[in-house]
Amino acid sequence: MSFNLLMIFVDDAGGILPAINHSPWDGLTLADFVMPFFLFIVGISLALTYKKLSCRAVATRKAILRALKLLMLGLFLQGGFFHGLNDLTYGVDIEHMRWMGILQRIAIAYLLAALCEIWLKGDGNVNLASSLLSQYRFQWALVLMLSTLYLSLLYGLYVPDWEYRIPIETSSSPPKLFSVKCGVRGDTGPACNAVGMIDRKILGIQHLYKRPVYARTQQCSINFPNNGPLPSDAPSWCQAPFDPEGLLSSVMAIVSCFVGLHYGHIIVHYKDHRDRIFHWMFTSSCLVVLGLGLNLCGMHFNKALYTFSYMCFTAGVAGILFAGIYFMVDVCGCRRPTFVMEWMGIHALMLYILAACNVLPVFLQGFYWSRPRNNILTLIGIGR
């Protein structure tokens, strides 16, 4: 499917083509659409999977097992066991293992959406948009609760001063201590946001992602918007760990999955092509306008924080793209051009693990001549 193709493309080419790499902080690039698109399609698939249930208990057990498998796979692939390109070693210190990651976030969103679809939906026919909302009112109530919780914590929590340590690799000296001055509430900058504070308090700063996206901001890199040496006047937070798939940001990511669930409900309850496309486009347009309006009012698009405006806009764009593909394939019958995307959708997890998680590149890098640097990836410009 096209979302999986986009995911692999930006993950592999983002470092080579900075224009499609993740935004250093506020703003949107092509890469920033990947996660919400994937969660959106997970929601659609859940609506179709649980359209008819023979036994809720069995479905619940299977959903929990799938989520646990994703969690364990995420910990193995993104917890630090593989050391990445140019480093043919493996193994991770449990005291510094990264707990959150892309697969872990997908697992959490999948499990919560699956349980809601299994247990929190009504029975009956849907004739109007209002009856569709009424049948899934408990799911929408949960979406409202999650959004309120996220916004309350993001803008309401007080973030005190904090500190972190960076080991000095070329010296036996103790790690260097950095202090970050905050003492604010409702800040959405890289240093003093509630998303990072919650992760530091609950997960522990040693378990967060060690290469934060804000290291490419203008304050932290002389090669902005690429990675580079620190400027002489760089702020103290530039090297601090920060997890883009943290706990609070995952709350809003779950909402992206529920939006996809709603689009799946439209497939289930509306059989006419025009009705489906009308409801998809109406919902998508509302989300895009709301997201743009919030961004203009100061709630900026931010993938690392997974802001409410970012969720609305990306979910709306995902809905428009989905409606376009549906029109091309199901209405116009143009299936042949999408054959490759369909195959990728069926094998989405396998392709993600091989390509986006660097499993295939690391495997290929293990075959070299004379020196580890002499390998096929270096010849084609990857991993330099």
The answer to whether 365 touches 375, Cβ cutoff 8 Å, is yes
Q: What letter represents residue 236's amino acid?
A: S
308-326 and 273-296 helices, crossing angle to 10°:
150
**Mean predicted confidence (pLDDT) in 343-354:** 71
Q: How far is CA 302 from CA 36, 116, 333, in A?
A: 12, 27, 37
Q: Residue 274 pairs with which residues in a beta bridge?
A: none
Mean pLDDT, the chain, whole residue set: 86
Range name among 13-17, 188-192, 312-316 with the lowest pLDDT average: 13-17
Q: What percent of the chain has pLDDT over 70?
A: 80
Residues 127-147 have pLDDT tens digits of: 666 778 888 999 999 999 999
Evaluate the omega torsion of the peptide bond into residue 225 and state whether it is cis, within 30 degrees of 0. Answer: yes
Q: Give the residue, 154 or 88, on which the prediction is more confident.
A: 154
pLDDT at 91: 65
Residues 181-208 have pLDDT tens digits of: 999 999 999 999 999 999 999 999 999 9
pLDDT band at 228 (very low <50, low <70, confident <90, very high): confident
The answer to whether 261 touches 320, Cβ cutoff 8 Å, is no
83 has a pLDDT exceeding 60: no
Q: Where are the alpha helices (DSSP H) in the chain?
A: 2-13, 34-49, 56-78, 102-119, 129-135, 137-156, 194-202, 247-269, 273-296, 308-326, 339-346, 348-351, 359-365, 376-379
Distance CA 182, CA 157 (A): 12
**Mean predicted confidence (pLDDT) in 273-286:** 96
pLDDT band at 94 (very low <50, low <70, confident <90, very high): confident
pLDDT at 326: 93
pLDDT at 125: 66
**What pTM did the predictor assign?**
0.89
Distance CA 164, CA 256 (A): 32
Distance CA 180, CA 39 (A): 34
Nearest alpha carbon to residue 306 among 314, 298, 317: 314
